[in-house]
Amino acid sequence: MTEKAGSKAFEDVPKAVSRRNFIKGVITSGVAVSSASYLFRASSLLQGQQSTAGVGERLITLNVNGQQRRVDVMRQETLAWTLRYKLGLTGTKLGCDRAECGSCTVLIDDIPYYSCSVLTHTVRGRKVVTIEGLAAADGTLHPVQQGVIDEQGFQCAFCMPGFIMTTVGYLKTNSNPTRQELAQGISGNLCRCQDYDKILTALMRGAENMRRSNLG
Amino acid sequence: MAVIRDVMPAFELFQPSSVADAQKLLEQHGPDAWVLAGGLDSFDWLKDRIRKPKAVVDLSGIEELRSVRTTGDGIEIGAMTTLTEVVNHPIIKQKYGLLAQAAELVASPQIRNQGTLGGNVSQDTRCWYYRGGWPCYRAGGNICYADTPEGRNREHAILHADRCVAVNPSDSAPALIALDARFVLRTPKGERVVDAEDYFIGPEIDITRLHILQPGDLLTAIRIPSTWAGAQFYFEKIRDRNVWDFPLMNVASAMVTSGDSIERIRIAVNGAAARPLRLKAVEDAVRGKPRNTATGEMAGKLAVQGAVPLQFNAYKIPLMRNLVKRAISGVEEATWAS
Q: Cα-Cα-Cα-Cα dihedral of B247, B222, B217, B204, to 10°?
A: 50
Assess if residue B28 is contained within a domain. Answer: no
B331 band by pLDDT with thresholds 50, 70 and 90 = confident
Rounded to two decimals, the ipTM of the complex is 0.95
Q: What is the pLDDT of residue A214?
A: 81
Q: What is the mean pLDDT of residues A39-60?
A: 53
Q: Helix, strand or coil for residue A63?
A: strand
Assess if residue B273 is contained within a domain. Answer: yes
Assess if residue B155 is contained within a domain. Answer: no
Instruction: Report yes or no on whether pTM surpasses 0.80.
Output: yes
A vs B, Cβ pairs < 8 A, gives 108
Output the 3-class SS for chain B: CCCCCCCCCCCEEECCCCHHHHHHHHHHHHHHEEEECCCCCHHHHHHCCCCCCCEEEECCCCHHHCCEEEECCEEEEECCCEHHHHHHCHHHHHHCHHHHHHHHCCCCHHHHHHCEHHHHHHCCCCCHHHHCCCCCHHHCCCCCCCCCCCCCCCCCCCCCCECECCCCCCCHHHHHHHCCCEEEEEECCEEEEEEHHHHECCCCCCCCCCECCCCCCEEEEEEECHHHCCCEEEEEEECCCCCCCCCCEEEEEEEEEECCEEEEEEEEEECCCCCCEECHHHHHHHCCCECCHHHHHHHHHHHCCCCCCCCCCCCHHHHHHHHHHHHHHCCHHHCCCC
Contact between B121 and B172 (Cβ < 8 Å)? yes
Q: Which residues of A touch B44 (CB under 8 A)?
A: 98
> Does the beta-carbon distance from B13 to A3 stay under 8 Å?
yes
> Does the beta-carbon distance from B108 to A119 stay under 8 Å?
no
Question: Residues 38 to 57 of A: which have CB under 8 A from any B CB?
Answer: 45-46, 49, 52, 54-55
Assess if residue B11 is contained within a domain. Answer: no
CA distances from A170 to A37, A167, B115, B133 (A): 33, 5, 17, 37
List, for residues B53-80, the tens digit of each pLDDT value. 999 999 999 999 999 999 999 999 999 9
Instruction: State how far residue B145 is from chain A, nearest Cα, in angstroms.
Output: 24
List, for residues A123-133, the tens digit of each pLDDT value. 999 999 999 99
Q: Which residues of B touch A7 (CB under 8 A)?
A: none
> Does the beta-carbon distance from B25 to A188 stay under 8 Å?
no
A32 pLDDT more than 60: no
Spell out the residues 6+ positions from residue A212 whose beta carbon is closer than 8 angstroms to its own: A143
The secondary structure of residue A136, as a DSSP letter, is -
Domains of chain A: 3-133 (3.10.20.30), 143-215 (1.10.150.120)
Instruction: State how far residue A4 is from chain B, nearest Cα, in angstroms.
Output: 8
Residue B201: how many CB atoms within 10 A of its CB? 16
Q: Which residues of B touch A111 (CB under 8 A)?
A: 84, 113
Assess if residue B268 is contained within a domain. Answer: yes
List, for residues B33-55, the tens digit of each pLDDT value. 999 999 999 999 999 999 999 99
B4 band by pLDDT with thresholds 50, 70 and 90 = low
List, for residues A91-123, the tens digit of each pLDDT value. 999 999 999 999 999 999 999 999 999 999 999
Tell whether A102 is within 8 A of chain B (Cβ).
Answer: yes
Nearest beta carbon to residue B3 from set A45, A97, A119 = A97
List, for residues A141-195, the tens digit of each pLDDT value. 999 999 999 999 999 999 999 999 999 999 999 999 999 999 999 999 999 999 9
Instruction: State how far residue A114 is from chain B, nearest Cα, in angstroms.
Output: 6
CA distances from A121 to A7, A74, A82, A91, A129 (A): 12, 8, 10, 21, 16
Q: Helix, strand or coil for residue A32?
A: coil
B335 band by pLDDT with thresholds 50, 70 and 90 = low
List, for residues B186-242, the tens digit of each pLDDT value. 999 999 999 999 999 999 999 999 999 999 999 999 999 999 999 999 999 999 999
CA distances from B129 to B8, B45, B160, B217 (A): 21, 13, 19, 27
Residue B103, sorted as left (phi over 0), alpha (psi -120 to 50) or beta, turns out to be alpha
Q: What is the pLDDT of residue A164?
A: 98
Averaged confidence pLDDT in chain B:
95
Assess if residue B187 is contained within a domain. Answer: yes
Nearest beta carbon to residue B108 from set A1, A55, A187 = A187
List, for residues B170-185, the tens digit of each pLDDT value. 999 999 999 999 999 9
Q: Which residues of B touch A110 (CB under 8 A)?
A: none
A53 pLDDT more than 60: no
Nearest beta carbon to residue A75 from set B5, B13, B40 = B13
A107 beta partners: A112, A129
Q: Is B258 exposed, middle or buried (0-12, 13-18, 19+ CB in 10 A)?
A: exposed
Nearest beta carbon to residue B60 from set A1, A102, A122 = A122
CA distances from B85 to A35, A115, A183, A187, B99 (A): 37, 19, 20, 18, 12
The secondary structure of residue A141, as a DSSP letter, is P
Give the residue numbers in B contacting A (CB under 8 Å), as ranges: 1, 3, 5-18, 21, 24-25, 36, 39-40, 43-44, 46-47, 56, 58, 60-61, 84, 107-111, 113-114, 242-244
Domain carrying residue B287 = 72-122+167-333
Nearest beta carbon to residue B13 from set A52, A119, A187 = A119
CA distances from A137 to A30, A66, A142, B48 (A): 15, 11, 11, 41
Assess if residue B62 is contained within a domain. Answer: no
A39 pLDDT more than 80: no
Tell whether A85 is within 8 A of chain B (Cβ).
Answer: no
Assess if residue B260 is contained within a domain. Answer: yes
List, for residues A150-164, the tens digit of each pLDDT value. 999 999 999 999 999
Q: Which residues of B touch A100 (CB under 8 A)?
A: 244
Q: What is the pLDDT of residue A12?
A: 43
Domain count of chain B? Answer: 1
Instruction: State how far residue A138 is from chain B, nearest Cα, in angstroms.
Output: 30
Strand order in the sheet with B33-36: B12-14, B55-58, B33-36
- The crossing angle, in degrees rounded to 10, of helices A36-50 and A19-28 is 170
CA distances from B60 to A135, B44, B275 (A): 31, 18, 26
Nearest beta carbon to residue A6 from set B15, B47, B56 = B15
Q: What is the CATH number of the domain that holds B300?
A: 3.30.465.10
> Does the beta-carbon distance from A188 to B109 stay under 8 Å?
yes
- The crossing angle, in degrees rounded to 10, of helices A160-173 and A196-215 is 50
A43 pLDDT more than 50: no
